[in-house]
Amino acid sequence: MAGRVLQPPLSVSDPLISDSDRSVRSDRLEMILLTPEQLDRVAAGDAAGMAAECDAAMGREWVDEVRGLAEMRARQVRERPSDAPWLLRAIVRDEPGLPREAIGYLNFHGAPSESGQVEIGYTLLPAARGRGYAVEAVRAMFDWAQRVHGVRRFRASVAPDNERSLNLIGKLGFVHTGEQWDPDDGRELVYELEIGPED
């Protein structure tokens, strides 16, 4: 692109990323923020080095599932560095007696909007579904957003036939507020949640 200058890539030591942003833990999971360099490697289909950096297995199924989104988020973080803490994370299972491995991914779509709202997106690999991991991961990320960044307003866009996601957002207390048309995913139901300071 002629005349366009991209921001230099963020690194693990970038001042836009605090220690509390790099890793978010829950009882059984760790949500690890991927650096632009890691996003590039995943987008290229290579997670071998990242597995060592995250001390977790990153299987071919996980890489294949996340690589398209990794490419998009790598571009986004270079164009809008302030989005960095909100973007793609590996959901790593860290549970006694089970292998430490990436079982899905989670991200917000970007930094908070002018109204202070962020939109969540998540995917678990099929073998990890039905065990409460998605609810646990999302709750941990909402807690992080509230505690570290003061964000209390959340949004989720869900396909009408995605029963698992509809069930999850119901458990979290989201309220249906409308619909939208996504050029890639088609019709989506829009849900919102506002968490009070005492929640």
Q: Residue 147 is part of which domain span?
A: 20-194
Q: Mean pLDDT for the chain?
A: 89
In a domain, 199, yes or no: no
pLDDT computed for residue 198 by the predictor: 58
Q: Which two tokens mark 191? A: 């849900």
Say whether pLDDT at 129 is over 80: yes
CATH code of residue 39: 3.40.630.30
DSSP H or E segment with residue 91: strand 89-93
DSSP H or E segment with residue 77: helix 60-79
User: What domain count does the chain have?
Assistant: 1
Candidate from 16-20, 32-36, 123-127, 151-155 with smallest mean pLDDT? 16-20
Specify the higher pLDDT residue, 18 or 148.
Answer: 148
In a domain, 2, yes or no: no
Nearest to 154 by CA among 109, 94, 88, 98: 109
Gap between the Cα atoms of 147 and 106, Å rounded: 18
pLDDT computed for residue 185 by the predictor: 80
In a domain, 3, yes or no: no
In a domain, 169, yes or no: yes
- Backbone dihedral region of 90: left (phi > 0), alpha (psi from -120 to 50 degrees) or beta? beta
pLDDT computed for residue 196 by the predictor: 80
In a domain, 12, yes or no: no
In a domain, 95, yes or no: yes
In a domain, 4, yes or no: no
- Per-residue pLDDT tens for 165-198? 999 999 999 999 999 998 888 899 999 999 987 5
In a domain, 10, yes or no: no
3-state secondary structure of 96: coil
The model's pTM is: 0.88
pLDDT computed for residue 7 by the predictor: 34
- Per-residue pLDDT tens for 97-128? 999 999 999 999 999 999 999 999 999 999 99
- Per-residue pLDDT tens for 21-59? 899 999 999 999 999 999 999 999 988 888 888 899 999
